[in-house]
Chains A and B, each alone.
Chain A
Amino acid sequence: MDTSDELLQQASPGLARGLGLTRQKAVRLSPSFISWLQAGPMMLVFLAFFLIPLVFVVIVSFWDYNEYQLLPTFSGRGYTDTFEGCIAQLPDLCTIGKTYVKTLKLCFMVWAITLFIGFWVAYFLAFHIKSKTWQMGLSLLCTIPFWTSNVIRMIAWIPLLGRNGLVNSGLLKIGVIDQPVEWLLYSEFSVVLALVHLFTFFMVVPIFNSMVRIDKSLIEAAYDAGATGFQTLVNVIIPLAKPGIVIGSIFVITIVMGDFITIGVMGGQQIAAAGKIIETRLNALQFPAAAANAVILLAITFLIITMMSRIVDIRKEL
Chain B
Amino acid sequence: MTETTRKTGVSRRTLLKGTAGLAGFAVGSGAITGFPYVMSAEPKVLRYLGTAVNEGDDISKQCLKDTGIKIEYITATTDDVTKRVMTQPNSFDVLDTEYFSLKKLVPSGNILALDAKKIKEFDNITPVFTKGETPGGKKIGNQGTAPWKVLYLEGKDSKTFAKSATEFVTLIPTVYNADTLGIRPDLIKRPISSWAELLNPEFKGKASILNIPSIGIMDAAMVVEATGKYKYADKGNMTKEEIDLTMKVMTEAKKAGQFRAFWKDFNESVNLMASGETVIQSMWSPAVTKVRSMGIPCTFQPLKEGYRSWASGFCVSKGVSGAKLDWAYEFVNWFLSGYAGAYLNRQGYYSAVLSTAKAHMEPYEWAYWMEGKPAEKDIKAPDGSLLEKAGAVRDGGSYEDRMGGVACWNAVMDENDYMVRKWNEFIAA
State the A residues within 8 Å of B (CB): 49, 53, 67-69, 81, 84, 95, 98-99, 102, 149-151, 154-155, 158-159, 162-165, 182, 185-186, 198, 254-255, 258-259, 261-262, 264-265, 267-272, 275-277, 280-286, 289
Contacts and interface: CB of A to CB of B under 8 A. Distances in A.
B8 interface: yes
Given A261-B9, A285-B82, A268 B421 contact: no
Given A81-B421, A284-B79, 7 more contacts: A258-B11, A264-B211, A265-B268, A269-B263, A284-B416, A285-B104, A289-B417
Contacts of A182: 205
Given A49-B16, A285-B104, A255 B428 contact: no
Contacts of B105: 68
Given A272-B424, A284-B416, A49 B20 contact: yes
A293 B200 CA distance: 36
A78 to B, nearest CB: 11
B277 interface: yes
A162 B82 contact: no
A102 to B, nearest CB: 7
Contact of B10 (A69, A150, A277, A283): A150
A159 B416 CA distance: 38
A264 to B, nearest CB: 7
A98 B56 CA distance: 43
Contacts of B8: 149-151, 261
Nearest to A195: B10
Contacts of A268: 259-262
Contact of B417 (A69, A269, A284): A284
A84 B428 CA distance: 14
Contact of A68 (B86, B268, B421): B86
B275 A162 contact: yes
Given A69-B108, A149-B7, A261-B9, A286 B420 contact: yes
A162 B212 CA distance: 23
25 contacts: A53-B16, A69-B108, A81-B417, A102-B428, A149-B8, A150-B9, A150-B10, A154-B268, A159-B275, A162-B275, A163-B275, A163-B276, A186-B277, A198-B10, A254-B11, A255-B11, A258-B12, A259-B10, A259-B11, A269-B262, A269-B263, A282-B79, A283-B79, A284-B417, A289-B417
Question: 5 closest A-B pairs (Cβ-Cβ)?
Answer: A268-B261, A272-B428, A269-B262, A283-B79, A258-B12
B6 interface: yes
A289 B260 CA distance: 30
B170 to A, nearest CB: 14
Q: Describe B's contact surface by its main secondary structure.
A: helix
B138 interface: no
A186 B82 contact: no
Contacts of A270: 254, 259, 261-262, 427
Contacts of B261: 186, 267-270
Q: Which of A68, A98, A182, A262 has most B Cβ within 10 Å?
A: A68
B201 interface: no
B262 A67 contact: no
A280 B423 contact: yes
Contacts of A289: 417
Contact of B427 (A159, A262, A269, A283): A269
Nearest to B20: A49
B360 interface: no
Interface string B188-227: 0000000000000000010000011110000000000000
A284 B213 contact: yes
A281 B12 contact: no
Q: Which of A49, A81, A150, A284 has most B Cβ within 10 Å?
A: A284
Given A68-B86, A186-B260, A270-B427, A163 B10 contact: no
Nearest to A84: B421
Interface string B285-310: 00000000000000000000000000
A276 B259 contact: no
B417 A280 contact: no
B276 A269 contact: no
A37 B173 CA distance: 59
A63 to B, nearest CB: 14
Contacts of B262: 268-270
Contact of A69 (B86, B211, B268, B427): B86
A206 B105 CA distance: 49
A276 B268 CA distance: 17
Contacts of A264: 211, 264
B38 interface: no
Contacts of A49: 16, 20
A163 B6 CA distance: 26
Interface string B390-427: 00000000000000000000001000110011011101
A185 B271 CA distance: 13
Interface string B252-277: 00100001111110011001000111
A112 B219 CA distance: 40
A249 to B, nearest CB: 15
A168 to B, nearest CB: 11
B47 interface: no
Nearest to A53: B16
A67 B416 contact: yes
A116 B80 CA distance: 40
B3 to A, nearest CB: 13
A182 to B, nearest CB: 6
Contacts of B425: 95
B107 interface: yes
A283 B9 CA distance: 16
Contacts of A150: 6-10
Contacts of B268: 154, 265
Contacts of B424: 95, 99, 272, 276-277, 280
Given A49-B16, A49-B20, A186-B260, A276 B427 contact: yes
A46 to B, nearest CB: 12
Interface string B62-86: 0000000000000000011011001
B32 interface: no
A60 to B, nearest CB: 12
Given A67-B412, A81-B421, A255-B10, A151 B205 contact: no
Contacts of A68: 86, 104-105, 107-108
B131 interface: no
